[in-house]
Amino acid sequence: MSHPAQAIVLYRFARSGHSHRAELFLSLLGLPVTPIDVDLAGGQHKTPEYLAMNCFGQVPVIRDGDVTVADSNAILCYLASCYGAEHWLPREPAQAAQVQRWLSVAAGQLAYGPCAARLITVFGAKFNPEEVIARAHALFVILDAELAQRDWLVGEQVTIADIALYSYTAHAPEGNVALDAYPHIRAWLARIEALPGFVAMPATAAGLRA
């Protein structure tokens, strides 16, 4: 596995699951990182300098030498392509398509379910709690059934699909989404947490974990 010529700069917000996706994968790959905390409360993500890196004004962003990559899932794809063993982002077309499918779930059902539920309790977002919690459980019923059949979401080894879904699933209880009914999800979370180089996202005393 190759390494970058210099440390990769990670613009992050510590309690953002999207930021944690990138931070976790960088750590699993053993890459040198210079983290920079973005002052979201102070509006740093809306400054011209930051918008030049990510026109949507979101975290995370990475800078790898002359290359700037915004969006957590795009960052996972970039890092896997540049620095990861092939199992992280399989090139075989059917498996590559399955990984892409789960990245879409991470940007869709996960974002509008467990992530949104946590945004209410941790950040005061104005979503309808019943609606987003119901969406979270609808996703977790499917995810638990998938993980009843295999250890990882795609194929026989961990991929970036697992990393993309980990953070907001692991922290779902902070948004009042209990994981008690999903034994296969809980076992899968434990498998990810046992990977060499795993780093946790800071816990927030909110929701079911208050």
Which residue is it, tokens 């973005």? 38
State how far the Cα of 56 lies from the Cα of 11, in Å rounded to an integer: 14
Could you report the average pLDDT of every consecutive run of 10 residues in the chain (210 residues)?
Answer: 85 91 97 92 87 92 96 98 96 97 97 91 85 96 98 97 97 95 98 97 81
Task: Give the strands of the sheet with 61-64, arranged side by side.
Answer: 33-37, 8-12, 61-64, 67-70
- The predicted pLDDT at position 161 comes to 98
Q: Is 7 left (phi over 0), alpha (psi -120 to 50) or beta?
A: beta
- pLDDT at site 1: 63
- Which CATH number is 13's domain given? 3.40.30.10
101 and 201, same domain (yes or no):
yes
pLDDT of 30 reads: 96
**Domain range enclosing 71:** 8-84
CATH of the domain at 192: 1.20.1050.10
Contacts of 157 (CB under 8 A, 6+ apart): 87
What predicted TM-score, i.e. pTM, was given to this entire model?
0.94
Confidence (pLDDT) at 143: 98
